[in-house]
Chains A and B, each alone.
Chain A
Amino acid sequence: MNFDWGYFLEMIPMLAAKLPVNLSLTLISAFFSLMIGLIFGLISYYKVPFFTQLIKIWSSFMRGTPAAAQMFFFYYGLAKLSKLILNMSPVVAVSVIMSLNMGAFVGETIRGALLAVDDGQREAAMSLGMTGTQMTIRVVIPQALRVALPPLFNDMINLFKMTSLAFLIGLRDVMGASKIESARTFKFFEAYAAVIIIYWVITILLTQIQKYLEKRCNAIYQ
């Protein structure tokens, strides 16, 4: 086996330079998927008629089909019906699919976390004369966030890994750059090893942040 270390080491900074594409995709879709998830979670938690059923079907679809298929369906398929999608830049299209896809997962995470807040906490809030909104904002959500933090952060790490799909519709992210580069040199082994190492290092960093946040969040409960 001949592994070209020199080429491998050369590839790392070259591919890492594309990280801003992946990181900005992650940040944008993290924001929107959290918003979508919070709305989905609250609707399912309060069992809002009609919308709860709608979200159930939508989430089943979003969670039950591959993100890559969703992206092709959206970017190449639906584009036939909609001028808006046809003219959409790849970055926006990837962000939309990532947000919608992860939003469904985040919705489930948040619903579960809201259910984990015990009834006594709600009863105490109600008995003090809080309105439903006050109770949700002041008591239920802060306590649910603590429960939700570990799984939510996992969702965010998955989101970061999902950015490797961007190359499928032609974005020059870490993965896309590696594909183009290796197609030219035929050094697939080295090029993809570099991709994997870059992803791994970033997720390790994210995990460290997760640990720190969890520790801070749990401090008052121990």
Chain B
Amino acid sequence: MVDIKNLTKTFDKQTEVLKGIDLHVDKNEVVAILGPSGTGKSTLLRCINYLCVPTTGIIRVGDVEVDAAHHTKQDVVRLRRQSAMVFQSYNLFKNRTAKENVMEALVTVQKKSKKEAEEIALHMLNKVGMLDRQDFYPVKMSGGQQQRVGIARALAVNPNVLLFDEPTSALDPELVNEVLTTIRSLAEEGDTTMILVTHEIRFARNVASRVLFMDGGYIAADGTPEEVIDHPDNPRLQQFLNFVSK
């Protein structure tokens, strides 16, 4: 489903954030990416849909492959249509209601009819428990509600992979749970491939089928949640887990 080969990213020709990432994610895997700040977790995620343009490397999502060495605007747009992103700061379109947010890409990108787009939107809003807020503008919703609409918007385009960039980091503590519950129920349905960057270790432990630990621009550990979180053998990983659990 997702294939990444020799991905590197250097900012401003000097800050090397990703130093060589190779990653293969299978269909329906739920992959959590953990790691200290500044180790390239978000950068990796953003490279998968070219919101961040890699310095080198080949990225394949679904059946679209893009090589950083030679890519066109059209390649990038095609690659982006394979995935959907849930942002840390939700980024709902401020000038559209919840329902219109979910419909937007269905109409403009996928050229569906308004009627069909609306049906899908209502189905997705129902799925995240936001059906009763369908006509609300983003400012009228809490952070947790906005994020759930963000998830519905991402789901609606029926992506090959759903990318979550720290989906709960900007939320007030009492709102974190409603969003985690939504993501958990998606994971339990088992037919969505997901890659999540998160700081919620317990959540990753419960929900992910696979956990990556990133450190210093590399994937330093890769395994099941039991292997990576319960029985870490990498000293940096042990240190990190000790630090977050305190």
- Report the Cα distance A221→B137, complex, angstroms: 7
- Report the Cα distance A138→B109, complex, angstroms: 11
In this assembly, does A185 line the interface, its C-beta being within 8 Å of a C-beta of chain B?
no
In this assembly, does A201 line the interface, its C-beta being within 8 Å of a C-beta of chain B?
no
- Report the Cα distance A173→B85, complex, angstroms: 58
Interface pair A123/B80, CB less than 8 Å apart? no
User: Which among B80, B87, B104 is the interface contact of A138 at CB below 8 angstroms?
Assistant: B104
**Given A138-B104, A220-B137: A128 and B109 within 8 A (CB)?**
yes
Within 8 A of A (CB), among B67-119: 73, 77-78, 80-81, 83-85, 87, 89-95, 104-105, 108-109
Closest to A119 in B: B91
Interface pair A123/B94, CB less than 8 Å apart? no
Within 8 A of B (CB), among A125-142: 125-132, 134, 138-139, 142
Interface pair A130/B105, CB less than 8 Å apart? yes
Closest to B93 in A: A139
Q: Which residues of chain B come closer than 8 Å to A121, judged between CB atoms?
A: 91, 93-94
Interface pair B87/A123, CB less than 8 Å apart? yes
**Given A134-B108, A220-B137, A221-B139: A126 and B80 within 8 A (CB)?**
yes
- Report the Cα distance A138→B103, complex, angstroms: 12
- Report the Cα distance A129→B78, complex, angstroms: 7
Number of interface residues of A (CB under 8 A): 21
In this assembly, does A164 line the interface, its C-beta being within 8 Å of a C-beta of chain B?
no
In this assembly, does A222 line the interface, its C-beta being within 8 Å of a C-beta of chain B?
yes
- Report the Cα distance A184→B194, complex, angstroms: 84
Q: Which residues of chain A come closer than 8 Å to B94, judged between CB atoms?
A: 121, 143, 221
- Report the Cα distance A222→B137, complex, angstroms: 9
Interface pair A128/B157, CB less than 8 Å apart? yes
In this assembly, does B51 line the interface, its C-beta being within 8 Å of a C-beta of chain A?
yes
Interface pair A124/B91, CB less than 8 Å apart? yes
- Report the Cα distance A220→B98, complex, angstroms: 12
Q: Which residues of chain A come closer than 8 Å to B49, judged between CB atoms?
A: 126-127
In this assembly, does A66 line the interface, its C-beta being within 8 Å of a C-beta of chain B?
no
In this assembly, does A161 line the interface, its C-beta being within 8 Å of a C-beta of chain B?
no
Interface pair A131/B77, CB less than 8 Å apart? yes
User: Which among B51, B137, B163 is the interface contact of A126 at CB below 8 angstroms?
Assistant: B51
Binding site for B on A (CB under 8 A): 120-121, 123-132, 134, 138-139, 142-143, 146, 220-222
Binding site for A on B (CB under 8 A): 49, 51, 73, 77-78, 80-81, 83-85, 87, 89-95, 104-105, 108-109, 137, 139, 153, 157, 163
